[in-house]
Chains A and B, each alone.
Chain A
Amino acid sequence: MTSELKPVKEGIFEVGPPPRLRGAICPECNQKFFPRPMVCPHCLGELQDVYLSTEGKVYTYAILRVKPPYKLPRPYAVGWVHLEADGIKIHTLFDPEKLSDLDFGRQVTLRVGAIGVDNNGDSCLRYYFTPQVGGEQ
């Protein structure tokens, strides 16, 4: 069962439903961060926990064809999603079942699922973004 698996790294996301990425915001600088730094790197002030937007746009991506790390699917896609509502771009896996739907600017939605293994070689949960059916609008 998916629910028994651990996240690839603790504290990065909540499994849900709905799944959510755990970022941070500096109330002084009004700047968001992911993953959460120790303090705000601009003012060294305390950060507040914040859930990031679960929707964004594909900024760019790449498909790895050679032997993957962490027993990820072969091939798999990684890249960058622009979370426009949060003002940051984050690095992410993309839905390995929907590689052909990836495109620049395509709307994507956050998911969490069992993909690959962690540093101990145990199956684990990873966050990924999946292209929205119906295209860019």
Chain B
Amino acid sequence: MRQVDIIGADMTAFGPQIETPLVELGARAAIGAIKNAGIKPSQINIGFFANMQAGNITGEFTVGQNILWEAGVNRIPVFNVENACTSGASAFNLAWTSIISGMYDVAIVVGAEKLVVPNLGLLQAGATELNVLEGGVVITNFASRANLHMDTFGTTKEQLAMVAVKNRQHAGMNPLAQFRKPITVEEVLNAPMMADPLTKLSCCPNADGGAAVVLCAAELSNRFTSKPIHVKASVLVSGIYDQLPDLFKFEEDLRAGSMAYEMAGLGPEDLHVVECHDAFTICEIMHYEGLGLCPVGEGGRLVESGATSLGGKIPVNPTGGLLSKGHPLGATAVAQIVEGVRQLRGEAGDRQVEGAKVYLAECMGAEKFGDAKTCTIIILQN
């Protein structure tokens, strides 16, 4: 199979950017990534733009073409991709596929989202879905999982809070993160209750932001960069929907993870740094288990041990994760790849994991019958 490298990456700060239009958020990241790659816009053969909510919030469509035009890219095939929180990693998967197929040599992936909108309310999956009509919202889905995880494995609400505390501490080392002021376990537990046991500080904030990466066929990448980052695996799965979900574990992580590890010829023991979809504190604990960082049921004890903190055995979410970096949906999974590039190039500043050689990014989105509708895993190596 043809190998693929990442040769350029960039992103905007995450957080409220009320005055900045969606196109500008995406274009700033795209321009930065193209310059970072050391290529001309005309050398890009295909483009993908990831976004989830622009159609709902501002009524925009085919935004990717507008963004890429601002970045000097035109004429080429451009695809606009929506796959919930994994939109960015889904776009990346398509870009990777387009290069390994031999059809294209250089691809750009841009993700951007404007989500800081007054009176946005709780995000819902769709007004005709029965579970939504019956009162299901995103946070109750994850609070239900948290309660079951606590009942099944003895996970504590303090352990859940430690995820938010750790990721906030990491965000203090990331100038692009939305929330950087340290918090304590007590502050997380005493924040306003949203859906027991999840308080306001257990949930990721809405954010605006953009991120972009440039991919290149590996045999060509040394024309542009001396520090190519190798894509060892890119996996996208959807749910099974058998209506008998085990809500104490992420079946999709386990399935996508084993596919990704096999593709990369690596295992969880080979990872040096991980970013995952910590939309709520419980998610990160369940992702530890789904990715094989610990056995199912042990995630709460893993965060408590400090193993997933910077300086620990396997640091998770050094950027602050969705919880503190912010969660601009379409940009989120692209930003995870940007962090992978920076960690593996040794350009991650104060949050650099010393000697990082293997990086994994996991993202997950949407739900049907208790199964995730989309789950992505990307493994990078320098």
A residues lining the B interface (CB < 8 Å): 8-9, 12, 32-35, 41, 59-70, 72, 76, 78-80, 87-93, 104, 116, 118-119, 126-127
CB of B243 within 8 A of CB of A33, answer yes
A33-B243, A65-B193, A91-B370 in contact; A60/B147 too (CB < 8 A)? Answer: yes
> Is B61 interfacial (CB-CB < 8 Å)?
no
CB of A63 within 8 A of CB of B134, answer no
A80-B144, A92-B134, A127-B134 in contact; A65/B243 too (CB < 8 A)? Answer: no
CB of B127 within 8 A of CB of A119, answer yes
Chain A to chain B contacts (Cβ below 8 Å), 6 pairs: A64-B140, A69-B124, A70-B133, A78-B134, A80-B144, A91-B130
> Is B173 interfacial (CB-CB < 8 Å)?
no
- Give complex CA distance A93, B140 in Å: 11
Across the interface, name the chain B residue whose C-beta is closest to A7: B133
Q: Shortest Cβ distance from A22 into chain B, in angstroms? A: 12
CB of B130 within 8 A of CB of A78, answer no
Instruction: Please name all residues of chain A whose beta carbon is closer than 8 Å to the beta carbon of B131 when the two chains form the complex.
Output: 91
By CB atoms of chain B within 10 A, which of A12, A61, A62, A70 has the most? A62
List CB contacts (< 8 Å) of B115-156 with chain A.
121-122, 124, 127-128, 130-137, 139-141, 143-148, 151
- 8 Å CB contact of A64 from B132, B135, B244: B135
CB of B147 within 8 A of CB of A78, answer no
A34-B243, A65-B194 in contact; A59/B135 too (CB < 8 A)? Answer: no
- 8 Å CB contact of B144 from A9, A69, A70, A79: A79
Q: Shortest Cβ distance from B35 into chain A, in angstroms? A: 43
CB of B151 within 8 A of CB of A104, answer yes
Instruction: Please name all residues of chain A whose beta carbon is closer than 8 Å to the beta carbon of B128 when the two chains form the complex.
Output: 9, 119
- Given A65-B196, A78-B144, A91-B136, 13 more A-B residue pairs with CB atoms under 8 Å apart are A60-B148, A64-B143, A65-B192, A65-B194, A69-B121, A69-B122, A78-B134, A89-B244, A91-B370, A93-B134, A93-B135, A126-B133, A126-B135
| Binary per-residue interface labels of chain B (194-210) against chain A in the complex, 1 for a CB within 8 Å, 0 otherwise | 11100000000000000
> Is B69 interfacial (CB-CB < 8 Å)?
no
By CB atoms of chain A within 10 A, which of B127, B137, B143, B243 has the most? B243
> Is B294 interfacial (CB-CB < 8 Å)?
no
Instruction: Please name all residues of chain B whose beta carbon is closer than 8 Å to the beta carbon of A35 when the two chains form the complex.
Output: 130
CB of A68 within 8 A of CB of B134, answer no
Q: Shortest Cβ distance from A38 into chain B, in angstroms? A: 14
Instruction: Please name all residues of chain A whose beta carbon is closer than 8 Å to the beta carbon of B194 when the two chains form the complex.
Output: 64-66
Q: Shortest Cβ distance from B25 into chain A, in angstroms? A: 28
By CB atoms of chain A within 10 A, which of B124, B128, B143 has the most? B143
Instruction: Please name all residues of chain A whose beta carbon is closer than 8 Å to the beta carbon of B132 when the two chains form the complex.
Output: 69
Instruction: Please name all residues of chain B whose beta carbon is closer than 8 Å to the beta carbon of A33 when the two chains form the complex.
Output: 243
Instruction: Please name all residues of chain A whose beta carbon is closer than 8 Å to the beta carbon of B21 when the two chains form the complex.
Output: none
Instruction: Please name all residues of chain A whose beta carbon is closer than 8 Å to the beta carbon of B121 when the two chains form the complex.
Output: 67, 69
Instruction: Please name all residues of chain A whose beta carbon is closer than 8 Å to the beta carbon of B136 when the two chains form the complex.
Output: 78, 91
- 8 Å CB contact of A62 from B124, B130, B196: B196
- 8 Å CB contact of B135 from A9, A78, A80: A78
List CB contacts (< 8 Å) of B338-371 with chain A.
369-370
> Is B247 interfacial (CB-CB < 8 Å)?
yes
Instruction: Please name all residues of chain A whose beta carbon is closer than 8 Å to the beta carbon of B137 when the two chains form the complex.
Output: 64, 69
CB of B370 within 8 A of CB of A68, answer no
A9-B133, A69-B137 in contact; A80/B247 too (CB < 8 A)? Answer: yes
Across the interface, name the chain A residue whose C-beta is closest to B247: A60
> Is B241 interfacial (CB-CB < 8 Å)?
yes
> Is B245 interfacial (CB-CB < 8 Å)?
yes
Q: Closest 8 interchain pairs by CB?
A: A62-B143, A60-B148, A88-B243, A91-B131, A62-B140, A62-B144, A78-B135, A60-B144
CB of B243 within 8 A of CB of A118, answer no
Instruction: Please name all residues of chain A whose beta carbon is closer than 8 Å to the beta carbon of B135 when the two chains form the complex.
Output: 64, 68-70, 72, 76, 78, 93, 116, 126
CB of B195 within 8 A of CB of A59, answer no
Across the interface, name the chain B residue whose C-beta is closest to A124: B133
Q: Shortest Cβ distance from A76 into chain B, in angstroms? A: 6
List CB contacts (< 8 Å) of B199-257 with chain A.
241, 243-245, 247
Q: Shortest Cβ distance from A82 into chain B, in angstroms? A: 9
